Amino acid sequence: MIQQSAVLGPGNGSIDSEILFVAEAPGRFGGARTGIPFSGDKSGDNFETLIAHIGLTRNDIFVTNAVLCNPLANGNNRRPTTKEIGNCSHYLQTVLELMRPRVVVTLGGVGLEAINRILGTRYKLAEVIGKPQRSERFTLLPLYHPSPRVTNWKRPLSVQKRDFKKILKIVQSTV
């Protein structure tokens, strides 16, 4: 079952931002319920902590997802399929063309997979985590997703805070 969510609205942030965040999909307790990416759940709370840590607000950034609807399995969030990522790639391509961001920050493997599809690259999250990748259009910064599962087992919030500081360095270096 797929639960529909808001695609574009003021909750995404500023379309004029230099920074675009690409996450996975709206979570069933978060974006799928609120219509705003990274809001209403623990992942959203962690995301707010991370952007505040580097002095940004939602008005300073734009947030979207690789997949625009909440993919569910047995009532729980599940990882979007390659087909679902492909189905939504035209939307992401359009956002990139409208925004022309300096920095694209992918949050997790699904966001990176969606950008790989658009750029024709094959980056693997474990190999490029926190390492800026330059393209003709923007600098890509692949980071881990701020979900509780990730912050508890793979990349603590304290380390993610250091990762997020790289975003500002990239923006400042491309001025």
The pLDDT tens digits for 8-27 are: 677 889 999 999 999 986 76
CATH match for 2-173 among 3.40.50.11890, 2.40.110.10, 3.40.470.10, 3.40.50.2000: 3.40.470.10
Tell me which range, 7-16, 76-85, 115-124, 154-163, is most confidently predicted by mean pLDDT. 115-124
Please report, for the chain, the start and end positions of each structural domain, with discontinuous segments joined by +.
2-173
Alpha helices (H) in the chain, listed in sequence order: 31-34, 42-53, 82-99, 109-119, 125-128, 148-153, 157-173
Tell me what pLDDT residue 131 has.
96
Strands 103-107, 19-23: pairing is: parallel
pLDDT: which is higher, 43 or 22: 22
Whole-prediction pTM: 0.90
Tell me what pLDDT residue 3 has.
43
Which tokens belong to 28? Answer: 């069933």
Which tokens belong to 59? Answer: 């008005």
Cα–Cα distance measured from residue 128 to residue 133, given in angstroms and rounded to the nearest whole number: 8
CA distances from 94 to 15, 74, 97, 111, 166 (A): 12, 32, 5, 15, 26
